[in-house]
Structure 1
């Protein structure tokens, strides 16, 4: 299990712990809707094998859990439970499709410890498998008359695509800025966290002020989640992990610790030689270790953690403005979990 998977496992355990069997039933309903929405007529064929594989491996489903939690704050939360479960399934399917496409772009061999769809069946099949999920999402949102949620999700997918395009345009860019980095992760990661909170709150009958507060909470949470993910590469021995460490850096994606380190005196002079060697495909494992050491020495890791802590404070302030109940306390606990090393 990778460090990210271990962390996701910890986060997922925080989210349902107070609800017990009721929450477990809702998550089972979400999984059931994912299966239902993914049903196809190609059983026994090669096409069917690919499509079955697409939905067989699931993560900790943090995004649908967040949608269900946001859906607890509205006056119609009880009567909207089935609809919320359907929407939670749809946002998870959106996430699943995005991961398939990410693996194609990144040429990733593994996803969640198993061979990726593109590795097993080829890039062409993987592209269309991801598109198949997106087609099913559109079909069921129209079939269930989820118009308002559909508008939110459509705009979110636009943002996700724009974020990925922005990141692609910044690859191997020596003068990439923190602002560009934040814009890119806001699209590719944060937008879906925000959509989960907005959709859950909106569909459960929250007023617009509460919907917006929950959406802002999701924004802080998504930013914390991504920056913390970027920090995972800087918390263990790269010489032990080997080539799987600093995958973003190897692909020319410079994350918050790198960018913070470059802003320090002598940072650019220290790190640009590593970037250029990497762009040439000549960076050795020893040099990668030296790069990691330099980023830490220059304060890049500490500065990135401080950004996480700042976002934690903002999220806690938003949580304090939410109706105080077991659900707001649970969201607060989740934020504090993300804010710990």
Structure 2
């Protein structure tokens, strides 16, 4: 079932965006490789936020859907590259591109999608917009570099973590809202407010995603759980738990090589016992509250209603 199934208009438009992606990135070699990923159970949040934000203005539907397509192509490129780095077998409930076709092919496919994104942007957008988009892509890359350099670092602070997710996740959410509003011909103040809304939703979304790594099964997530711990990426629940690890039991366990399933389960229990999950839930709720403060002051209409529902839904999701 689609994440947007109960919202008929946006769900229909997202199906159009999916078809546009297939058509715009069509290649002799890529159709059968990419179609399962495009049509699988991804939430399509970023293109949906482009569409919802744009509808606050006097928008042109075709231009709005085109930018929604571009945002999703960019996001898909980052996912393909993420899976290479993480050696991930699953993506959106399907075998990842790198698992099915190999790392070399996945690198080329991810690069191709990035190039398609830039090609489409170059034909229809002002220099100011292109620079804004380039800065966001730069922020995503720098955040990924920082995260990679901090692998297996037991001394990370909550501030370190928030800086990383602000770049790697929230920046693209903010861009989706801001540029959606701008393409939709909204006034600058509304574009800026929607950009901030995107940032807060993105922060809450990533924190929840990291919580789910400790509380959901692989089938629900559509990817491997406990993968962050296995790869040495310490996210908020674990960082907070480590900061409250008075007897260094958790740290000593993480320092071991080749952890067993039982030891991974023990880590999850210790993260819970040290307050990592509850602290993370509270912080996610803080960002959701900030998002609702902005939503309250948005113009009335379908987009506002949907954003209220979805923001609440994201905090309560299990996948």
* TM-score, normalised via structure 1 length: 0.85
Residues 1:209 and 2:192 aligned together: no
**Partner in structure 2 of residue 166 of structure 1:** 146
Whether 2:40 is the aligned partner of 1:64: answer no
Which of 242, 247, 255 is 1:276 aligned to?
A: 255
Deviation per residue, 1:252-294 (Å, 9 max, x gap):
111111112223361x6131112211xxx32221111111111
Q: Write out aligned runs for 1:73-112 (5 A).
A: 73-74=56-57, 76-77=58-59, 80-112=60-92
SS in 2 for 1:144: coil
For structure 1, which segment, 139-148 or 156-165, has the greater mean C-alpha deviation from structure 2 after superposition? 139-148
Secondary structure (helix, strand or coil) at the match of 2:255 reads: helix
Q: CA deviation at 1:306?
A: 0.5
In the alignment, what sits opposite 2:232? 252
| C-alpha separation in 1, matches of 2:125 and 2:285 | 40
Q: Report Cα offsets for 1:120-147 as digits up to 9, x if no partner.
A: 2221111111111111111122223464
| Secondary structure at 1:193 match in 2 | helix
Aligned with 2:241 (options 246, 255, 261): 261
Unmatched tracts of structure 2, length 5 or more: none
- Which of 88, 93, 100 is equivalent to 1:113? 93
Task: Give the number of the structure whose alpha-carbon radius of gyration is greater.
Answer: 1
Residue matched to 1:295: 271
The reply on whether 1:29 has 2:9 as its aligned counterpart is no
1:149-189 superposed Cα distances (whole Å, 9 cap, x missing partner):
43332222111111110100110111111111111111111
User: Could you say if the C-alpha distance between residues 318 and 292 of structure 1 is closer, same or farther in structure 2, counting changes exceeding 3 Å?
Assistant: same
Question: Is the aligned partner of 1:332 residue 2:311?
Answer: no
Distance 1:154 1:209, change over 3 A: same
The change in CA–CA distance for 1:234 and 1:119 in structure 2 (over 3 A counts) is closer
Cα 1:155/1:236, change in 2 over 3 Å: closer
Q: Secondary structure at the match of 1:39?
A: coil
Choose which of 281, 285, 289 in structure 2 pairs with 1:309: 285
Distance 2:245 2:146 in 1: 27
Report the aligned-residue RMSD: 2.2
Match of 1:319 among 295, 298, 304: 295
Indicate if the aligned counterparts of 1:152 and 1:199 stay in contact, CA closer than 8 A.
no
Question: Taking structure 1 as reference, are residues 290 and 145 closer, same or farther at Cα in structure 2, changes over 3 Å only?
Answer: closer
Q: Deviations over 1:291-311 (max 9, x none)?
A: 111111111111111001111
Confirm or deny that 1:234 pairs with 2:214. Answer: yes
Determine if contact 1:38/1:55 at 8 Å carries over to the other structure.
no
- Paired residues, what number? 311
Whether the 8 Å CA contact 1:30–1:86 is kept in 2: the answer is yes
Alignment partner, residue 143 of structure 1: 123
**Secondary structure, aligned partner of 1:234:** coil
Distance across 2 between alignment mates of 1:25 and 1:304: 34
Residue 182 of structure 1 pairs with residue 162 of structure 2: yes
Deviation at 1:326, TM superposition (A): 2.5
Give secondary structure in 1 for the equivalent of 2:213.
helix
* Contact in 2 for aligned 1:257/1:303 (Cα 8 Å): yes
Q: TM-score scaled by structure 2?
A: 0.90
Q: Partners in 2 of 1:192 and 1:224 — Cα distance?
A: 13
Is contact 2:80-2:98 (8 Å) kept? Answer: yes
Aligned mates of 2:16, 2:184 — CA distance in 1: 17
Q: Which moved more, 1:161-170 or 1:24-33?
A: 24-33
- Asked if the contact 1:27/1:65 (under 8 Å) is kept, the reply is yes
